[in-house]
Amino acid sequence: METVKSTNTWLSNFFLNIGDEVLAIKQTEGKGRRGNTWDSDYGGLYFSLVSPNNKLLPFITGISVVESLVEVKDNIQLKWPNDIIINGKKLGGILCESYGNYTIVGIGLNISNNILLSDAISLKDINYNLDRLDFIYSFKLNFNDNLSLSSEKILEKYTKLDFLIGKKIDWNKGSGIVQSIDVDGSLIVEVSDKIVHLYSEEVSIEKY
């Protein structure tokens, strides 16, 4: 589509089957996580698809995005729960929204759009020219492969990519050292010799 409010919202209204997908050139009301807006001007990638439910879907999507950015994948990391990071800055984000038996998976990637935030980066900034349709083709192959993996295997892949593991983080209610990711998708953090689990719906990481 040329312009849509949000590819996630559009699919939530009109999808019929698993695998239905929408790519937009521009969004006018792009949505981020936790009720944030997502800058969605020309030059970015705004893509959503309908997936079966899976509690590790944000990780499956993140891993599949990294695997599809073939030429730069060794420089990309994921930041729990679902930011895509390059050179320590945010290259893109993932928004998974559940509707009964289905989840709408939305991906936003900065390609050649102008970046408004100092902690964000685009592929243009690292001289990588990404063809959106090639990316989507490759993403869907990787996504379907990763969907069929066991939770253990998904976590094994994810923990190799996660940017926060081993780092000290501050969140809205505390601070600690990130140890790992649990099979329920929570972040395992050591806080003064105790282990706590952070859930993405409940916390917002403020410093890392």
- Provide the binding-site residues for ligand BTN, judged by CB under 6 A: 6-8, 27, 30-33, 36, 38, 46-48, 83, 93-95, 106-108
Nearer to ligand BTN, 93 or 176 (CB): 93
Rounded to the nearest whole angstrom, what is the least distance from the CB of residue 193 to ligand BTN in the complex? 32
CA separation, residue 152 to residues 61, 80, 138, 140, 160 (Å): 16, 17, 23, 21, 13
Rounded to the nearest whole angstrom, what is the least distance from the CB of residue 150 to ligand BTN in the complex? 26
3-state SS class at 181: strand
Rounded to the nearest whole angstrom, what is the least distance from the CB of residue 138 to ligand BTN in the complex? 17
Rounded to the nearest whole angstrom, what is the least distance from the CB of residue 30 to ligand BTN in the complex? 4
CA separation, residue 26 to residues 7, 50, 87, 134 (Å): 9, 19, 25, 18
Nearer to ligand BTN, 78 or 107 (CB): 107
- Paired with 97 in beta bridges are 104
Nearer to ligand BTN, 30 or 176 (CB): 30
Q: Which of 107, 91, 93 is nearest to 51 (CA)?
A: 107
